[in-house]
Chain A
Amino acid sequence: MKKYIHNNIAILLLVVTSVFYSSCKKDIIDRTSLYPSLSPANIDLNADTWKPVLITDPSVFIVAAPDAITSPAYVADLNEIKGYQRSLTSDQRAIIKYWSAGAVLRWNEIMRDLVAKHNVAPYQNLDGTYPAPSSANPFAYPQFPFSNPPYSARAYAYVSAAEYDALIAAYHFKKQYNRPAPYKNDATVQALVPKSDLPSYPSEDAVISGAAVEMMKLLFPTEIDYIEQKAAEQKVYRIMAGANVRGELDAGESLGKQVADVFAARARTDKAGAAIGTPAYWAQLQTQTAAKGEQYWISLENPKRPPMLPLFTKVKPFLFDTLTVVALRPGPPNSTKSDAFKKENDEVLYYSQHATRANQDLVAFWADGIGTYTPPGHWNAIAADEFVKQNYSEVRWARNFALLNMAEMDAAIVCWDTKYFYFNPRPTQMNSAIKTLTGIPNFPSYSSGHSNFSGAAATILTYLLPDRGSKFTDMAQQAALSRLYGAIHTRSDINVGLVTGNEVGQYAVQRAQADGAGLGN
């Protein structure tokens, strides 16, 4: 009897173990791996007439006339495709599947990945000061960049806008040279991605990667190896898929780089390089706030960290001029000595002390803090999930991301201007009993960055996708509230931030209404 029991126990343990193991260890499915191949509902053939961001005349760029499709060079290029297609490995098919979701989309994801990777604040020196990343010496600790929210907002904007302008230029040459895709010239070339009537010289995929790579070299200089590897993979993908011949890719890459040079020149002189400020300036922010009779912001980190990019406020915006930045600045926050201020801080204390699980969920969902793609990156991810459903052409993908990210960058500039003009303390600085449900950012409170970013993003996305109704504005509201529930911001901070963000977003809407692209689809 005893033995019987023992045997059964052993079997039971085995069964329990295997059931448990099989039910709980499932492969993680990354939702971006499920995106279908891009099959544009409309190729937007008139995109050469759309209004670019920086370039003025596409014909100033050099794109040599393509070889005739009867030339030996073109035939050799076709043979390269056929060579790949004779024996595609499963790895190569996976590469085709990955990139076929769209070049603008995948480069946007690569950017988000790099932003998250570099979004870690520098560790302090032994003496309690902090080292700053240096673009001149990017590999030294702390590596350049620290891709915090303003830095990343700007990075997303430059890459997106450069891709967009490069595609407009590409459409100019596509129409000029009017060369059909390889599978239209040779029936033995298979199209392993959806076929397109868009002329294929120069390649739009290569134009996108050329522009993206060139911009990202500037923005993420320690990642050049990785970025170029991705670009090389993408190039081979187009050949393997029968979608482009090598000559079309080389021409596209060259054009993308030429257009990116225009953006890189702007980026080098847009004043972002000086955004970190100086110790004298940091001190001045305190004295000028104290002179107004207000409590000034103090870092809540230990050791105290200098404020994040106080002169980002001077960066040159995309959607309006620097005078408009000042004009968009909201009125002052409640005086730190007022009852209204205290009352609002008490509300924050309440949420700190009554953290429900639902509030924690909301706070974590929107936190987008250290080690993440930041709030602008989150809105890129939200937009990407929606754009995938729209079957946009690459150029419309690029245009819509450019609109979103110029709005986010300009929202960062206006928000930072507000934050450093008022230099307003965080609730926790005024009452140390206010504990936070996520990390507290190292810059002044008024107005909420999340709210500015979310307001701007929701405004332009609602314009671009009107059939989504209030989806994006509801999300923006949630993002803003998460900062109150997380005990990071007062209600004024988030409400004012949403209003200002919406105003910035309206500039993107005005641009979208006038750029010739229409709503598409």
Chain B
Amino acid sequence: MMKCLYTHLFKCLVIIICFWASVQQASAQAENDAIMIPKNYLCPGVMYSTSDWTNYWEGTFKRSNGNIGTLNTKMYSVMATYGITNNLIATVNVPYVTTNASAGTLEGQKGLQDISLNLKWRGLRLKSGKNTFSLLASVTGSIPLTNYEADFDPLALGSHSKNFTGRLIVDYNRGKYFITGSGAYMTRSNITIDRTSYYTTQLIYSNQVELPNMSDYNLRTGYRSKYFIAELVGDISTSLGGFDIRKNDMPFPSNRMNMTSAGINLRYRLKSLYNLEFTAGDDYVVKGRNVGQSNMVHGGITYIFSLSKKADQVSYKN
């Protein structure tokens, strides 16, 4: 009955959330799309992204900064997705991140960032003629792999928090066209910084910092055939708390970081060698608050294969 070929593949880089450009977390297996892979398939891959911003928002005030110039963040990720069942897949992702400011004196950072584990479960799938409707739930946990310095924005590799994201995904497919919408809630743990006091809207005497939780809404739509996906992606990510950077002040991990981004995403699987998938895309921050107006270009290669002898056929469809 459910003998469909849930397929998948990897997705490219999707930004779960970009905090500054430096905190971009990319997920191989997209935790916010509706694509699955069949049971007992393994899909390892590598991906790369590079992101730049020159302008950023201090609160709502948009500016550039001669002491930063252009801030670049590069991310090199290794990831793997495994089909536990035809309706449940798990993805592990390990990113290595570098940051660099083209002006000013602050030193760029580099290192392993946060390992993440995503479980995506398809709970419902209704098919009628050319129409398919699916409901999915996805959870993602991430923990820092190294003791990188979070209190070094905007050059920090990440926020160094342990994050947990729960997401509900709705997908509607008609023929070769689809639309996927999802909403997520992310909790972020407190972090420990190297100093014993810090100023938010008041001085706090602690080395613990409470990071605001976040919400995220994602909409993607476009063309989806067996071997090709071309989609437009819109994303709104909002801090549920935090404070604004004051004029000419330094940023801080518990700032209220909001961003609205738009992007395009392509995924292509060779017909002759369908195990191989190429992804590429671009993502641009249209509007933000206490974040950089980044443009990110990303690309990746994955290779999927079955661990069992008798394997289902893999494709993007269904």
Is residue A373 contacting chain B, with contact meaning CB distance below 8 A? yes
Residues on the B chain within 8 Å of A357, using CB: 147-149
Taken together as a complex, chains A and B put the C-alpha atoms of A434 and B190 apart, in Å, by: 33
Q: Is B119 an interface residue (CB 8 A)?
A: yes
Interface presence of B129 (CB below 8 A): no
Contacts of B208 in A (CB 8 A): 26, 28-29
- A112: B residues at CB distance < 8 A: 203
Does residue B248 face the partner (Cβ distance < 8 Å to A)?
yes
User: Which of B30-38, B103-111, B257-265 faces chain A?
Assistant: B103-111
Contact pattern, B 216-235, Cβ under 8 Å of A = 1, otherwise 0 = 00000000000000000000
Task: Map CB proximity to B onto A106-133 as digits: 1 under 8 Å, 0 otherwise.
Answer: 0001001100110011110000000000
Known: A6-B121, A28-B190, A121-B248. A116 touches B195 (CB 8 A): no
In the bound complex, residues from chain A placing their C-beta under 8 Å from that of B203 are 109, 112-113, 116, 373
Task: Judge whether B169 is part of the interface by a CB distance below 8 angstroms.
Answer: no
Given contacts A435-B107, A440-B105, contact A365 B196 (CB under 8 A): yes
Interface: A13 (CB within 8 A): yes
Whether A373 lies near B197 (C-beta < 8 A) is: yes
**B107–A437 touching, CB < 8 Å:** yes
- Chain A residue numbers with a CB within 8 Å of B250 are 369-371, 439
A406 lies within 8 A of chain B by Cβ: no
A122 touches B105 (CB 8 A): no
Residues on A with beta carbons closer than 8 Å to the beta carbon of B189:
23-25
**A28-B206, A31-B205 are known contacts. Are A365 and B195 too (CB-CB below 8 A)?**
yes
Instruction: Determine whether the beta carbon of B105 is less than 8 Å from that of A13.
Output: no
Decide if A367 is an interface residue (CB 8 Å cutoff). Answer: yes
Residues on A with C-beta less than 8 A from B85 are 2, 5
- Does A30 make an interface contact (CB < 8 A)? yes
- Chain A residues contacting B247 (CB-CB under 8 Å) are 120, 123, 141
Contacts of B190 in A (CB 8 A): 24-26, 28
Query: Which residues of B from 98 to 138 have beta carbons under 8 Å from A?
Result: 103-108, 119, 121, 123, 137
Contact yes or no, A355 B107, CB < 8 A = yes
Tell yes or no: B193 within 8 A of A by CB.
yes
In the bound complex, what is the Cα–Cα distance between A470 and B209 (angstroms)? 31
Q: Which residue of B lies closest to A30 (CB)?
A: B205
Of chain B, the residue at the smallest CB distance from A434 is B105
Residue of B nearest to A427 (CB): B105
Asked if B144 lies at the interface with its beta carbon under 8 angstroms from chain A, I say: no
- B-chain residues with CB within 8 Å of residue A520 when the two chains form the complex: none
With A123-B247, A373-B203 as known contacts, state yes or no: A301 contacts B187, CB within 8 Å. Answer: no
A14-22, A63-71, A278-286, A510-518 - the one binding chain B: A14-22
Near A by CB (< 8 A), chain B positions 142-156 give: 147-149, 151-152
A9 touching B205 by the CB < 8 A rule?
A: no
Contacts of A361 in B (CB 8 A): 149, 194
Task: List the A side residues contacting B199 at CB < 8 Å.
Answer: 113, 116-117, 371-373
Contact of B141 among A20, A303, A352, A440 (CB under 8 A): A20
Quick check: is B97 within 8 A (CB to CB) of the other chain?
no
**Within 8 Å of chain B (Cβ to Cβ): is A45?**
no
Q: Known contacts A20-B164, A26-B190; is A301 also within 8 Å of B204 by CB?
A: no
Query: Please, how many angstroms separate the alpha-carbon atoms of A191 and B107 in the complex?
Result: 56
Q: B201: nearest residue on chain A (CB-CB)? A: A117
B40 to chain A, nearest CB (A): 15
- Interchain nearest-CB distance for A358 vs B (Å): 10
Q: Which residues of B contact A436 (CB under 8 A)?
A: 105-107
Contacts of A28 in B (CB 8 A): 190, 204, 206, 208-210
Q: Which of B107, B188, B208 has the most CB of A within 10 A?
A: B107
- Of chain B, the residue at the smallest CB distance from A367 is B195
Q: Which residue of A lies closest to B252 (CB)?
A: A371
Q: Is the CB–CB distance between B164 and A435 below 8 Å?
A: no
Contacts of A434 in B (CB 8 A): 105
A353 nearest in chain B by CB position: B107
CB distance from B202 to the nearest CB of A (A): 6
On chain B, the number of residues with a Cβ less than 8 Å from chain A's Cβ atoms is 52
Q: Which residues of A contact B107 (CB under 8 A)?
A: 352, 355, 435-437, 487
Q: Would you give the 0/1 interface string for A367-384, flagging 1 where the beta carbon is closer than 8 Å to chain B?
A: 101111100000001000
Cβ-based interface call for B62 (8 A): no
- Interface contact B149-A381, CB-CB below 8 Å: no
* Contact indicator A302/B164 (Cβ below 8 Å): no
Q: Which B residues lie within 8 Å of A109 (CB)? A: 203
- Chain B residues, CB < 8 A from A23: 189
Which residues of B in the span 55-88 have a Cβ within 8 Å of any Cβ on A? 63, 66-67, 85, 87-88
Residue A428 CB within 8 A of the other chain: yes
A364 proximal to B (CB < 8 A): yes
Complex Cα spacing A17 to B161, Å = 15
Interface string of A279-311 (1 = CB under 8 A from B): 000000000000000000000111100000000
Q: Are A120 and B187 in contact (CB under 8 A)?
A: no
**Residues of chain A contacted by B204 (CB below 8 angstroms):** 28, 30
Contacts of A137 in B (CB 8 A): none
CB distance B206 to A20 under 8 Å? Answer: no
Highest count of chain A CB atoms <10 Å: which of B103, B105, B107, B189:
B105
Q: Could you tell me the distance between the alpha carbons of A364 and B252 in the complex, rounded to whole angstroms?
A: 13
Known A-B contacts A13-B137, A21-B164; the reply to A31 vs B206 at CB < 8 A is yes
Structural contact, A364 and B151, CB atoms closer than 8 A: yes
Q: Chain B contacts of A355 at CB under 8 A?
A: 107
CB distance from B269 to the nearest CB of A (A): 28
- Check if A92 is an interface residue, CB within 8 A of chain B: no
Residue A32 at the chain B interface, CB threshold 8 Å: yes
B242 at the interface (CB under 8 A from A): no
Which of A6, A16, A428 is in CB contact (< 8 Å) with B105?
A: A428
B-chain residues with CB within 8 Å of residue A367 when the two chains form the complex: 195
Q: Is the CB of A120 within 8 A of B195?
A: no
Q: Quote the shortest CB–CB distance from A10 to chain B (angstroms).
A: 8
Residue A269 lies at the interface, judged by CB distance under 8 Å to chain B:
no
Inter-chain contact A364/B152, CB cutoff 8 Å:
yes
Least CB distance from A467 to B in Å reads 22
Chain B CB within 8 A of A188 CB: no
Q: Mark A394-413, 1 if CB is under 8 A from B, else 0.
A: 00000000000000000000
B174 within 8 A of A: no
Residue A360 interfacial (CB < 8 Å): yes
Given A21-B187, A439-B250: A365 touches B108 (CB 8 Å cut-off) = no
27 A–B contacts from the bound complex (CB under 8 Å): A5-B88, A17-B166, A24-B161, A24-B188, A24-B190, A25-B187, A25-B189, A25-B190, A28-B190, A28-B209, A30-B206, A31-B196, A109-B203, A112-B203, A123-B248, A357-B147, A362-B194, A364-B149, A369-B250, A370-B249, A371-B249, A372-B195, A373-B203, A381-B205, A434-B105, A435-B106, A440-B105
